[in-house]
Protein backbone atom coordinates (compact mmCIF):
# COMPACT_ATOMS: atom_id res chain seq x y z
CA UNK A 1 0.00 0.00 0.00
CA UNK A 2 2.76 2.40 0.95
CA UNK A 3 4.57 1.67 -2.33
CA UNK A 4 1.48 2.41 -4.45
CA UNK A 5 0.85 5.68 -2.61
CA UNK A 6 4.45 6.73 -3.19
CA UNK A 7 4.28 5.94 -6.94
CA UNK A 8 1.28 8.20 -7.62
CA UNK A 9 3.01 11.58 -7.21
CA UNK A 10 6.35 10.26 -8.44
CA UNK A 11 5.38 9.49 -12.03
CA UNK A 12 4.25 13.00 -13.02
CA UNK A 13 7.13 14.51 -11.06
CA UNK A 14 9.62 12.31 -12.90
CA UNK A 15 8.06 13.27 -16.25
CA UNK A 16 8.29 16.97 -15.46
CA UNK A 17 11.91 16.50 -14.36
CA UNK A 18 12.83 14.96 -17.70
CA UNK A 19 11.11 17.79 -19.58
CA UNK A 20 12.84 20.43 -17.47
CA UNK A 21 16.20 18.75 -17.96
CA UNK A 22 15.68 18.69 -21.73
CA UNK A 23 14.58 22.34 -21.70
CA UNK A 24 17.67 23.31 -19.70
CA UNK A 25 19.99 21.57 -22.17
CA UNK A 26 18.18 23.18 -25.10
CA UNK A 27 18.30 26.72 -23.68
CA UNK A 28 21.92 26.56 -22.55
CA UNK A 29 22.95 25.10 -25.89
CA UNK A 30 21.09 27.61 -28.07
CA UNK A 31 24.17 29.82 -28.37
CA UNK A 32 25.66 28.30 -31.50
CA UNK A 33 29.29 27.61 -32.33
CA UNK A 34 29.07 30.00 -35.28
CA UNK A 35 28.33 32.89 -32.93
CA UNK A 36 31.83 32.48 -31.48
CA UNK A 37 33.72 32.90 -34.78
CA UNK A 38 35.15 36.35 -35.47
CA UNK A 39 35.56 38.11 -38.85
CA UNK A 40 33.37 35.68 -40.77
CA UNK A 41 33.71 35.97 -44.54
CA UNK A 42 37.25 37.35 -44.37
CA UNK A 43 39.47 35.75 -47.03
CA UNK A 44 43.19 35.66 -47.72
CA UNK A 45 43.63 38.81 -49.74
CA UNK A 46 45.34 42.18 -49.83
CA UNK A 47 43.19 45.25 -50.31
CA UNK A 48 43.30 48.91 -49.29
CA UNK A 49 41.77 49.61 -45.91
CA UNK A 50 38.62 51.68 -46.49
CA UNK A 51 38.93 52.93 -42.93
CA UNK A 52 41.55 55.39 -41.81
CA UNK A 53 42.52 57.10 -38.59
CA UNK A 54 41.14 60.62 -38.50
CA UNK A 55 43.13 63.24 -36.68
CA UNK A 56 42.09 63.57 -33.05
CA UNK A 57 40.98 67.14 -32.40
CA UNK A 58 41.62 68.90 -29.11
CA UNK A 59 38.44 69.51 -27.12
CA UNK A 60 37.44 71.34 -23.95
CA UNK A 61 38.54 69.37 -20.89
CA UNK A 62 41.52 67.77 -22.63
CA UNK A 63 44.87 67.71 -20.86
CA UNK A 64 47.83 68.49 -23.08
CA UNK A 65 51.48 67.73 -22.52
CA UNK A 66 53.51 70.52 -24.16
CA UNK A 67 57.30 70.34 -23.95
CA UNK A 68 59.50 72.95 -25.60
CA UNK A 69 63.06 72.17 -26.71
CA UNK A 70 65.64 74.35 -28.42
CA UNK A 71 69.33 75.19 -28.78
CA UNK A 72 69.31 77.37 -25.66
CA UNK A 73 68.34 75.38 -22.57
CA UNK A 74 67.90 78.53 -20.50
CA UNK A 75 65.27 79.92 -22.84
CA UNK A 76 63.31 76.66 -23.09
CA UNK A 77 63.29 76.03 -19.33
CA UNK A 78 61.00 79.03 -18.87
CA UNK A 79 58.33 77.38 -21.02
CA UNK A 80 58.67 74.05 -19.21
CA UNK A 81 58.11 75.34 -15.68
CA UNK A 82 56.06 73.01 -13.44
CA UNK A 83 53.49 75.66 -12.52
CA UNK A 84 51.26 78.13 -14.33
CA UNK A 85 47.91 79.83 -14.00
CA UNK A 86 45.19 79.46 -16.57
CA UNK A 87 42.36 81.65 -17.68
CA UNK A 88 40.16 82.69 -14.78
CA UNK A 89 42.89 81.84 -12.25
CA UNK A 90 42.60 78.08 -12.72
CA UNK A 91 45.79 76.04 -12.31
CA UNK A 92 46.81 74.92 -15.79
CA UNK A 93 49.91 72.81 -15.39
CA UNK A 94 49.24 69.54 -13.62
CA UNK A 95 51.10 66.29 -13.21
CA UNK A 96 49.66 62.95 -14.28
CA UNK A 97 47.91 62.46 -10.92
CA UNK A 98 46.36 65.92 -10.99
CA UNK A 99 48.60 67.45 -8.32
CA UNK A 100 50.30 70.82 -8.67
CA UNK A 101 53.87 70.84 -9.99
CA UNK A 102 56.38 68.13 -10.81
CA UNK A 103 56.02 64.99 -12.90
CA UNK A 104 54.57 64.99 -16.38
CA UNK A 105 52.98 68.39 -16.88
CA UNK A 106 49.84 69.21 -18.75
CA UNK A 107 47.72 72.16 -19.79
CA UNK A 108 44.01 71.73 -19.13
CA UNK A 109 41.83 73.10 -21.92
CA UNK A 110 39.11 75.34 -20.49
CA UNK A 111 35.40 75.10 -21.35
CA UNK A 112 35.94 77.86 -23.90
CA UNK A 113 38.75 75.85 -25.54
CA UNK A 114 41.57 78.01 -24.19
CA UNK A 115 44.91 77.39 -22.47
CA UNK A 116 47.24 80.05 -21.09
CA UNK A 117 50.79 79.62 -22.29
CA UNK A 118 53.87 81.51 -21.07
CA UNK A 119 54.67 84.61 -23.16
CA UNK A 120 51.87 83.82 -25.61
CA UNK A 121 49.02 84.31 -23.17
CA UNK A 122 45.61 82.79 -23.92
CA UNK A 123 45.59 80.43 -26.87
CA UNK A 124 42.41 78.99 -28.36
CA UNK A 125 43.50 75.41 -29.07
CA UNK A 126 40.14 73.59 -29.36
CA UNK A 127 39.70 72.30 -32.89
CA UNK A 128 43.42 71.89 -33.49
CA UNK A 129 44.91 68.43 -33.74
CA UNK A 130 48.17 67.99 -31.78
CA UNK A 131 50.38 68.20 -34.88
CA UNK A 132 48.79 71.50 -35.91
CA UNK A 133 49.28 72.97 -32.46
CA UNK A 134 52.88 71.76 -32.44
CA UNK A 135 53.65 73.49 -35.73
CA UNK A 136 51.91 76.67 -34.62
CA UNK A 137 53.76 76.80 -31.31
CA UNK A 138 57.10 76.33 -33.05
CA UNK A 139 56.29 79.39 -35.16
CA UNK A 140 54.93 81.49 -32.31
CA UNK A 141 57.86 80.76 -29.98
CA UNK A 142 60.58 81.60 -32.50
CA UNK A 143 61.07 85.17 -31.07
CA UNK A 144 62.09 83.68 -27.70
CA UNK A 145 63.53 80.24 -28.52
CA UNK A 146 66.21 79.55 -31.11
CA UNK A 147 65.17 76.67 -33.40
CA UNK A 148 62.23 75.64 -31.21
CA UNK A 149 61.07 72.03 -31.26
CA UNK A 150 57.75 71.41 -29.56
CA UNK A 151 56.15 68.11 -28.54
CA UNK A 152 52.36 68.07 -28.03
CA UNK A 153 50.55 64.99 -26.74
CA UNK A 154 47.08 64.25 -25.40
CA UNK A 155 47.44 63.01 -21.83
CA UNK A 156 43.79 62.05 -21.40
CA UNK A 157 43.40 59.52 -24.23
CA UNK A 158 41.26 57.31 -22.02
CA UNK A 159 38.97 54.48 -23.12
CA UNK A 160 36.52 52.72 -20.78
CA UNK A 161 35.66 49.03 -21.14
CA UNK A 162 32.46 47.73 -19.48
CA UNK A 163 31.05 44.21 -19.16
CA UNK A 164 28.59 42.69 -16.72
CA UNK A 165 31.51 41.52 -14.57
CA UNK A 166 33.76 44.56 -14.40
CA UNK A 167 34.66 47.97 -15.77
CA UNK A 168 38.05 49.53 -16.32
CA UNK A 169 39.50 52.66 -17.85
CA UNK A 170 42.75 52.49 -19.82
CA UNK A 171 44.94 55.51 -20.55
CA UNK A 172 46.31 54.89 -24.04
CA UNK A 173 49.76 56.11 -24.99
CA UNK A 174 49.29 55.23 -28.67
CA UNK A 175 46.69 57.47 -30.31
CA UNK A 176 46.52 55.04 -33.27
CA UNK A 177 45.02 52.23 -31.17
CA UNK A 178 42.15 50.38 -32.84
CA UNK A 179 39.26 48.46 -31.30
CA UNK A 180 40.81 45.01 -31.70
CA UNK A 181 44.12 46.09 -30.18
CA UNK A 182 42.29 47.58 -27.23
CA UNK A 183 40.31 44.38 -26.65
CA UNK A 184 43.63 42.56 -26.55
CA UNK A 185 44.83 44.95 -23.85
CA UNK A 186 41.80 44.21 -21.63
CA UNK A 187 41.93 40.42 -22.11
CA UNK A 188 39.40 40.38 -24.91
CA UNK A 189 35.84 39.09 -24.97
CA UNK A 190 34.91 35.82 -23.31
CA UNK A 191 32.77 33.07 -24.80
CA UNK A 192 29.84 34.18 -22.64
CA UNK A 193 29.84 37.70 -24.16
CA UNK A 194 27.99 38.75 -27.30
CA UNK A 195 30.34 39.39 -30.19
CA UNK A 196 27.78 40.55 -32.72
CA UNK A 197 26.59 43.66 -30.87
CA UNK A 198 29.46 45.50 -29.21
CA UNK A 199 28.55 49.10 -28.39
CA UNK A 200 31.00 51.96 -28.82
CA UNK A 201 29.73 55.19 -27.27
CA UNK A 202 31.52 58.34 -28.38
CA UNK A 203 31.28 62.04 -27.51
CA UNK A 204 31.62 64.35 -30.51
CA UNK A 205 31.22 68.11 -30.03
CA UNK A 206 28.98 67.61 -27.04
CA UNK A 207 26.82 65.01 -28.78
CA UNK A 208 26.68 61.31 -27.91
CA UNK A 209 27.08 58.84 -30.76
CA UNK A 210 26.25 55.14 -30.34
CA UNK A 211 27.74 52.64 -32.78
CA UNK A 212 26.98 48.91 -32.97
CA UNK A 213 29.94 46.77 -34.01
CA UNK A 214 29.64 43.14 -35.16
CA UNK A 215 32.94 41.40 -34.42
CA UNK A 216 31.73 38.24 -36.15
CA UNK A 217 31.66 40.09 -39.48
CA UNK A 218 34.52 41.31 -41.63
CA UNK A 219 32.69 44.64 -41.72
CA UNK A 220 34.32 45.48 -38.38
CA UNK A 221 37.39 46.68 -40.29
CA UNK A 222 35.36 49.36 -42.07
CA UNK A 223 33.49 50.53 -38.98
CA UNK A 224 33.71 54.30 -38.28
CA UNK A 225 34.74 53.46 -34.71
CA UNK A 226 37.42 50.91 -35.65
CA UNK A 227 40.01 53.46 -34.52
CA UNK A 228 39.38 54.68 -31.00
CA UNK A 229 38.98 58.25 -29.83
CA UNK A 230 39.56 59.79 -26.39
CA UNK A 231 36.78 59.05 -23.88
CA UNK A 232 35.26 56.23 -25.94
CA UNK A 233 33.14 53.78 -23.93
CA UNK A 234 33.05 50.15 -25.08
CA UNK A 235 30.24 48.00 -23.71
CA UNK A 236 30.01 44.25 -24.24
CA UNK A 237 26.70 42.70 -23.29
CA UNK A 238 26.32 39.07 -22.14
CA UNK A 239 24.87 36.39 -24.36
CA UNK A 240 21.95 34.21 -23.29
CA UNK A 241 24.25 31.48 -22.06
CA UNK A 242 25.89 33.81 -19.58
CA UNK A 243 22.53 35.04 -18.35
CA UNK A 244 21.25 31.54 -17.80
CA UNK A 245 24.46 30.36 -16.16
CA UNK A 246 24.32 33.19 -13.66
CA UNK A 247 20.59 33.24 -13.07
CA UNK A 248 19.49 32.21 -9.60
CA UNK A 249 16.32 30.62 -10.96
CA UNK A 250 18.34 28.25 -13.11
CA UNK A 251 20.42 27.22 -10.12
CA UNK A 252 17.22 26.57 -8.18
CA UNK A 253 15.82 24.56 -11.10
CA UNK A 254 18.94 22.43 -11.43
CA UNK A 255 18.88 21.80 -7.69
CA UNK A 256 15.24 20.68 -7.89
CA UNK A 257 15.98 18.34 -10.80
CA UNK A 258 18.95 16.86 -9.00
CA UNK A 259 16.93 16.29 -5.85
CA UNK A 260 14.12 14.66 -7.80
CA UNK A 261 16.50 12.32 -9.61
CA UNK A 262 18.17 11.43 -6.32
CA UNK A 263 14.83 10.51 -4.80
CA UNK A 264 14.03 8.40 -7.86
CA UNK A 265 17.31 6.53 -7.57
CA UNK A 266 16.71 5.87 -3.91
CA UNK A 267 13.20 4.67 -4.63
CA UNK A 268 14.34 2.33 -7.41
CA UNK A 269 17.03 0.91 -5.20
CA UNK A 270 14.51 0.34 -2.41
CA UNK A 271 12.41 -1.84 -4.73
CA UNK A 272 15.28 -4.17 -5.54
pLDDT tens-digit series, residues 249-258: 556 666 777 7
- Across 5-14, 109-118, 151-160, 260-269, least confident range: 5-14
User: What is the predicted pLDDT for the residue at 101?
Assistant: 35
Q: Is the pLDDT of residue 126 over 60?
A: yes
Segment among 122-131, 196-205, 220-229, 238-247 with least mean pLDDT:
238-247
User: Longest C-alpha distance within the chain, in Å?
Assistant: 109
Of 62, 139, 59, 77, nearest to 107 by C-alpha is 62
pTM: 0.65
Does the pLDDT of residue 190 top 60, yes or no? yes
Q: If DSSP codes are grouped into helix, strand and coil, which group holds residue 254?
A: helix
Percent of the chain topping pLDDT 70:
68
CB atoms within 10 A of CB 151: 12
Mean pLDDT taken over the chain:
76
- Rounded to 10 degrees, what is the CA torsion of 106, 111, 117, 121? -170
Distance CA 9, CA 11 (A): 6
pLDDT digits (tens, 9 = 90+) for 207-227: 899 999 999 888 888 899 999
- Domains of the chain listed by start with CATH number: 33-54+157-238 (3.10.560.10), 63-154 (3.30.1950)
Amino acid sequence: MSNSLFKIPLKPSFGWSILLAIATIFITGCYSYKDQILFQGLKDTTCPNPNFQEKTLIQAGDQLSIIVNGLDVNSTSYFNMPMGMGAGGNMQMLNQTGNQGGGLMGYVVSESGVIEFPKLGELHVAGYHPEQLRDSLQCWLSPWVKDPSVMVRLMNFRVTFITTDHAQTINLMNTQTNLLQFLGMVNGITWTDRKDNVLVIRQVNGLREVHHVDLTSQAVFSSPVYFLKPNDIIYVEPNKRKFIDTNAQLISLVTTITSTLSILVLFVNSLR
